[in-house]
Every structure is written in structure tokens, then in C-alpha cells.
Structure 1
């Protein structure tokens, strides 16, 4: 019984990553109430493993973090016009993966965040490429279990500009939040480093931004989501 309840909890957690537009509740009212102030440290990282980082700089508009090396299991890019729909499509692959549908038949602990990489596409109807990634726990990073239609991303140490926002992620909110982060970085050393990384094909050059999500759908208040802009700094 305990194992079954844990599986249901894990499923509900991952479902939150693409619940979008408050579909879980069928109303924008609760989502709006849930989008109040959020803390600088995602509360879920007190309960489950998250990638470690050093805080380099912090303002009212953004944080600059330096993430240590990490390993992520990622879906193949999906062409879509909707981040929410693309994330729903990729969800079953990652959920099956941590439940043991991998070459090692290995069950893997839940972590946070799950990130969605948003990259421009030349397709019709303003499509983008979306890649969903699960943070691999440290105990599995030396030899992450392979799986069909998934691939490993190994991150070197990298910088990330971060903007937090609350509520449930929707297609409308992520674009607005990403634009606000970009605007707040204009004229800063961080904004210049992001622009240079994009121009030179460095870290973050292939994506417009990333969306990181941390919460269970049943955490109505104090929800934490983040926009990430990864980049390199000259040594």
C-alpha cells in the first residue's frame, strides 16, 4: 500500500509540470490566488534532491547562479505551438523512465526541477522546439540508465540568470516572464554575457529560455517556477 501511494504521489508531482492554465482545477481564480510572492529558495528542494548551485548575484528582478556539473535525462525535441501541450507529450516518457522503463530496469528517485527548454523553430504556425529534462539524482549520475527515445545531457559548470514566478505555468505566462527577465538584464554584465554566448554558439545559444517547475499540483500557495537563461562567463 505504501509503495502504491508513493507512486501516486510521484505521478501527481510530475503531472503538475504540465497542468498549465489551471486545468487541474478548471478555473483561473485559484491559479491567480496561487501566484503570490515566492521565496528565493524553492521549498520542494528541502524535501527532494535538486541540483546544487552558488548564488553569484541577487536583485529584486533576478538571480545569477553558478550551477555545478550535473546530469539530465532528456526527451527528443518536440515541435509544438504550446509549451503546455509539448510538456504533456513528453511527460509519459520521463515518468516511465523513473518507474523502471529503462535499459537497467532501475527505479529512480524523484527530483526537482523538471525543465523545459524552449528553442526557436523554422516550422509553420509559430512552432517551437521543446525538450523536457529530468534532473538525474547524484547516485545515478556516473552511470545513468539509458532508455529508448531519451538521451543524457551532461552539464559542465554554467551560469544561469533566473527569474521566479508563482502560480501554475501557462503558455501566456512563460513568454511574459521570459521577456521581463531579458529586459531586466539589459545593460548589465550578465546581459552582455548572455548575448555573447548566443552569438558565439556557447551555453544557451540554441534556446530562447528554459522553464523550471518544482511543485506538486496540490500545493496551491507559494508555488515556485523559474525562467532560466544559461550562459558562459569569460575566464
Structure 2
């Protein structure tokens, strides 16, 4: 497992350094603002990331609208540690993009890798983590199936986003998620998130999602995000 992880992280780093220069991210690039609102992940200059429209920005948050996206996801992993669960999943996702799938198809590296976090109410305080790889657009019409992995197809959705730097830790993600929730209180977006959860919508399946854009070997300019997905009334 540790050997596979080392290979994965090295491959991820090399992909960032030698990715196809023709890959162009279609997102708008808002200016930097306090609290890392709108910081453009440097890795998205080199590898494919999902496109979105910036709808609104506020005090420490962004509201984005993502078009339809496709993800290849692990089965939920029960663990007390997001960091450990994500590390465990990396080797499985790395194997998938290297051809360990039903099509024996190699797939380009993308960003971000996301972890959907669903806290448990059980006595062991273990949460459930579903870790996902963004499927490149060229593979989205027919993503390769694989054992113990499943495809998530997301319809167009709104996401409240908070960015933070450094390395993700088990202590930091909960704090960042709580700060995002607090910053949205009293806003139309906060009300939409609450309504979506009550209706069993997009935000009801996980407390929040953690998006990581960087190779573990990138020490500077790291960009991570907390996502709160929700629906808007038409």
C-alpha cells in the first residue's frame, strides 16, 4: 500500500510538470481577495479541472455553478480520519487511471480529488468518506467501470466554496467547514443550503466535501476547498 502511494504521488507530481499544454481550464479567474477567495489553483493551468461559473462572492466564500460533471468514486470508507481514508483511496484511484479498469484504459490525471464527508452518529465516532477522481471530459460519455468503484454523474449544481491553504489535516477541515457555514448565515445561499438539506437534496448526503488540487510534493501555493452543494429554486 505504501509503495503504491509513493508511485501515485510521484506520478501526480510528474503529471503536473509535464501535462498537455493544450489542456485549457474554462473557468473565469477572479482576482485574489482576503481569505483566499477566488485563488486560481495553479495545477488547473496544467491539468484538466471541472469548469464552473462564478455566481457570487462574499466574506470568505464563493458561490459557483458547476455544469454536469462525472466522477469515479470509491465505496464509502469508514474511518475516524479523513487524511487516512483519503490516503487509502489514492492507490485504488491511481490504479484505475493507470488501466486497472474494465476497459484496460489509461486516463489522464485531473484535479481536484474530492472526499465527501458524512459524519457518523455511532459510538466509535467514525465518519464515512467517499473519495472521487474527476473524469476527463473525453472519457465522460463512457467512463470505464471498475471493481469496487462507481460512477457519480452530477447534474448542474450550485456549490458554496471556502478555500484554504497548506496541507489538509483532520483538525483543519472541520474548522474550515464550520467557518464556511458561519459566513453563509443570513444569506440567500445559507437559506438555500438549509432548504436543500431539509428536502433531502444534494447537501443531505454529506456534511461537506473536501477538494484537494495539489500533489503532496507541492509545498507552496497549495489550494484546498470546502464545498457545500445545494439546489436553487427555479
What is the TM-score normalised by the length of structure 2?
0.85
Partner of residue 78, structure 1: 77
**Deviation above 4 Å: which 4+ runs of structure 1?**
11-14, 36-39
Please say if 1:138 is aligned against 2:137.
yes
Q: Mapping of 1:216-227 within 5 angstroms?
A: 216-227=215-226
Tell me the alpha carbon deviations over residues 168-226 of structure 1, each in whole angstroms, 9 at most, x when there is no partner. 00001000000000000001000000001100001121100000000122221111000
Aligned to 2:11: 10
Q: TM-score, normalised by structure 1?
A: 0.85
Contact 2:37–2:61, Cα closer than 8 Å, also in 1: no
Paired residue secondary structure (2:138): helix
Q: Displacement, 1:136? A: 0.1
| Aligned residues of 1:166 and 1:222 also touching (Cα < 8 A) | yes
Deviation per CA, 1:1-46: give whole Å up to 9, x if none: xxxxx977424589xxxxxxxxxxxxxxxxxxxxx95852111111
Q: CA RMSD in A?
A: 1.9
Task: Check whether the contact 1:212–1:228 (CA below 8 A) recurs between aligned residues.
Answer: yes
Q: Unmatched 5+ residue regions in structure 1? A: 1-5, 15-35
Cα distance, 1:218–1:92 mapped onto 2, change above 3 Å = closer
Tell me what 1:192 maps to: 191
The secondary structure found in structure 2 opposite 1:204 is helix
CA contact (8 A) 1:37 1:222 kept: no
8 Å Cα contact 1:38-1:166 kept in structure 2: no
Residue correspondence of structure 1 range 21-170 to structure 2 within 5 A: 40-170=39-169
Name the CA distance, whole Å, in 2 between partners of 1:154 and 1:113: 16
Q: Secondary structure at the match of 1:216?
A: coil
Q: Which structure exhibits the higher relative contact order, with contacts defined as CA atoms closer than 8 Å and separated by 6 or more residues? A: 1
Tell me the SS of whatever aligns to 1:154: strand
CA distance in 2, matches of 1:91, 1:123: 26
- Cα distance 1:12–1:47, how it changes in 2: closer, same or farther (>3 A)? closer
1:23 equivalent in structure 2: none
Determine if contact 2:112/2:211 at 8 Å carries over to the other structure. Answer: yes
Structure 2 unmatched ranges of 5 or more: 1-6, 16-34
